Structure 1
């Protein structure tokens, strides 16, 4: 059964929240974030106001996939992570 856009947004939020709380993550989580953000950006049901946040998350996830020091990348984006989680909460 495919995920609805609301399910995708919740999963995106959960992974970002884990990154924020744990200050660490995995490359596979970054890959999942990238897929979710890309899918949500393409969805017409998602509010246009949130799409700039999704673009930032997409870039964060891409950068995270290719960095040598993922935990440092996550720590450097702590302020962004909390804002993104808040923005995604507004979607639901």
Structure 2
């Protein structure tokens, strides 16, 4: 059973918050981000402004998944992570 829109947004925020607070993550988390983001971007409930934020996070997750050092990738995106979390709070 697919998870609801708001639950997907909460999951997205939870993973980003973990990356921000712990400065580390896993390839599996990046892959989970990608799956959730694809679903959110395809959802008719998602506003254009939110899609722009989600596209940026999707690029972050793809880059992280393919990075030689995921932890360094996460550390180098701390400012963006903070902004995305704030953006998600403003969207919901």
> What TM-score do the two structures reach when normalised by structure 1?
0.95
Instruction: Give the Cα–Cα distance (whole angstroms) in 2 for the partners of residues 90 and 14 of structure 1.
Output: 15
Q: Which runs of 5+ in 2 are unaligned?
A: none
Q: Which runs of 5+ in 1 are unaligned?
A: none
Contact 1:20/1:81, CA 8 A, preserved across alignment: yes
How many residue pairs match? The answer is 92
Runs (4 or more) in structure 1 with deviation over 6 Å come to none
Q: CA RMSD in A?
A: 0.8
> What TM-score do the two structures reach when normalised by structure 2?
0.95
Cα displacement string for residues 21-74 of structure 1 (whole angstroms, at most 9, x for unaligned residues): 000000000000111111111111012111111000000000111111000000
